[in-house]
Structure 1
């Protein structure tokens, strides 16, 4: 049996260079989203990185080498920074691929989107947490956000920007998930990402999901991959699901699903989500996680393994981002699978999953604990021989070079 291409690994060793660098350019944002990691505020923090410090961060990122990591400018709302376009142009001149993740506000207009594209940005990331204005605006805390987001989405596509749509998976959004998927397919997006909530910031006030609900949502996202390119954020067991489903398909078997999956599939059928043409090839999820191909730099320059794992490994104001990423005790330890505890330590899928270290930290205080949202019991997958054949050729999770 050939190695299963259902999970991609970065082209370069993840211990040496990240696949993606996220920079929180500001925490200023006029919205009041229920799940906000940053607990965003109306005004900019005087302690955030200045323009010269931001350019230094970009130079540090370029030092990882070519091809450069994807450099995502997020927030808060990046459009609250007057120097955004200058920074995009500077990063582009260094050879960085720049994406921008703005909030759905009146700043998401043709003038601003044209300017950021002309400065060199190649992609835009937008949030959609409801299929209607009523649902989305309630989650985002401000009326009108849905229309601003849809208008900005369409404008970005017209301007030739690639668009990623992010949906937070919460108890509030799960019943609406098939409707959101249908909207994403109808409007068109490069990628739809399901963000599996990590209870940090304002997100601590939201009800958590059960592991079975998470499992059903992951399988539904996999089903949607037949018609929409899908991925997850902090849903690392989506990679396990992708491997399982590929083996099931080859064997002509099917996994057991919970009631939520059935409800979502029935609603998707009513909406005609899977009617018509299918994608010629699924988009395999990328094997990237906290400190393993991923690094987050806060608005004040602190370096974190993830924006949802608020433990600092150092500051770009006082150290080098490549050095912090490659050699800090925090990052090195997170790349060591031997540090995992609980069922994550014994799971046969650990080399393609490993669980969310951010969620483990948020819910248990131990970043190496098992992921509390995972329903899988190690050793229960029925096709273990096929799984071993699939996983054996893969490189170790700590990062030898491997083509995508």
Structure 2
């Protein structure tokens, strides 16, 4: 992870006709004249290829990337350069079958769509425009028919906490490569939305772990999902009930029961997808529409500009990125936590809440050292972490 990222996300434009309540970019209807033009965008792709093979996955997002007339040209260029390209479009009227077919034929290896509720009322209400839910489902089915690898992203917030089992059932019904539960970071428009409590976050993470046997699930900006996965594995090996041992709350019990009613724990059992050890600046890099480089789109601290400094150099050597990759630099409970080397907490949320990207994770309530099987934790992690 110190040598090259797993993912490079490029905010190709901030132009978007939606008015999503959580929008990090506070997107606007028109394109910004400062955006990387086609030549500069191809230069960015060359810089990604310079990381070496296999190149990081390059995700073109926005705003709405279909607002760029050179989108297909850039996908073709990336594919020919040896860079795998995926596209993360907005649910707008541009999300048509011909456009998706063109993206697929240009060489895109995957597609990422957002679904923030199992009903039109929930999703369209969150996205600020009627009809988005229907456009998204139609695009989902089209992408599946085309054989594209598909990821569905769901923002977890107060608006849909109790709808998560229904969303999981919809994801299983339509089929995906991956379901990503994104835990809100209070930045951009999202700063006006109510936060989850650490206990609620914990309950949701354990529910997501439960459904991982029927739906391939990951989390975004909830890095303590890795801690949850390790704790659950140890408790299962010990034959212990996680509910009582970890003192999970009423939200977990409601979500688990609804999941049972929907049949999420029966049929189609699969191996759980292990959570990837990717965090802001550690396996992940974000390039803005103007070329500035950030550890994450939700962590607005800049580390350089691809117009003036090569992306591999920024990622490998900048003070910000190297600090974020060093778990010994973390403070508060994260700095004392035995799971810090595999979790690290959301650096984006820490910065948004405290102004310090190395502060403790605000949405995690775990008390370091409180898990009863510390020897087993050390064995799994393969290290004698202080405090473990």
- TM normalised by structure 2 equals 0.97
2:198 alignment partner in structure 1: 211
Q: Unpaired segments of 5 or more residues in structure 2?
A: none
Alpha-carbon displacement from aligned partner over 1:104-128 (angstroms, at most 9, x marks no partner):
1121111000100011001000000
Residue in structure 1 matching 2:288, options 294, 298, 312: 298
1:359 alignment partner in structure 2: 349
1:133 alignment partner in structure 2: 120
Q: Which has the higher contact order (CA 8 A, sep 6+)?
A: 1
Q: Unpaired segments of 5 or more residues in structure 1?
A: 1-13, 396-404
Task: Tell me, yes or no, if the aligned pair for 1:227 and 1:278 is still in contact at 8 Å.
Answer: yes
Kindly state the Cα deviation for residue 66 of structure 1 after the two structures are TM-superposed: 0.3
Residue in structure 1 matching 2:303, options 313, 334, 339: 313
What is the CA–CA distance in structure 2 between the aligned matches of 1:254 and 1:294, rounded to whole Å? 35
Q: How has the CA–CA distance of structure 1 residues 60 and 135 changed in structure 2, closer, same or farther, with 3 Å as cutoff?
A: same
Kindly state the Cα deviation for residue 190 of structure 1 after the two structures are TM-superposed: 0.5
Alpha-carbon displacement from aligned partner over 1:263-289 (angstroms, at most 9, x marks no partner):
11111122222222211x111010010
1:386 alignment partner in structure 2: 376
145-154 or 254-263, which moves further after superposition?
Answer: 254-263
2:13 alignment partner in structure 1: 26
1:7 alignment partner in structure 2: none
- TM normalised by structure 1 equals 0.93
What is the CA–CA distance in structure 2 between the aligned matches of 1:101 and 1:316, rounded to whole Å? 21
Is the aligned partner of 1:247 residue 2:228? no
Q: Give the secondary structure class of the aligned counterpart of 1:198.
A: coil
Task: Tell me, yes or no, if the aligned pair for 1:245 and 1:254 is still in contact at 8 Å.
Answer: no
Kindly state the Cα deviation for residue 254 of structure 1 after the two structures are TM-superposed: 2.4
Note the aligned Cα RMSD (angstroms).
1.1
Alpha-carbon displacement from aligned partner over 1:295-327 (angstroms, at most 9, x marks no partner):
000000000000000000000011100000011
Residue in structure 1 matching 2:84, options 90, 93, 97: 97
Alpha-carbon displacement from aligned partner over 1:75-130 (angstroms, at most 9, x marks no partner):
00111111000000000111111110001112111100010001100100000001
Is the aligned partner of 1:269 residue 2:260? yes
What is the CA–CA distance in structure 1 between the aligned matches of 2:114 and 2:45, rounded to whole Å? 25
Task: Tell me, yes or no, if the aligned pair for 2:378 and 2:384 is still in contact at 8 Å.
Answer: no
2:330 alignment partner in structure 1: 340
Residue in structure 2 matching 1:162, options 144, 149, 159: 149
Alpha-carbon displacement from aligned partner over 1:322-379 (angstroms, at most 9, x marks no partner):
0000111111111121211000000000111011110000001111110000011101
1:224 alignment partner in structure 2: 211
Is the aligned partner of 1:35 residue 2:26? no
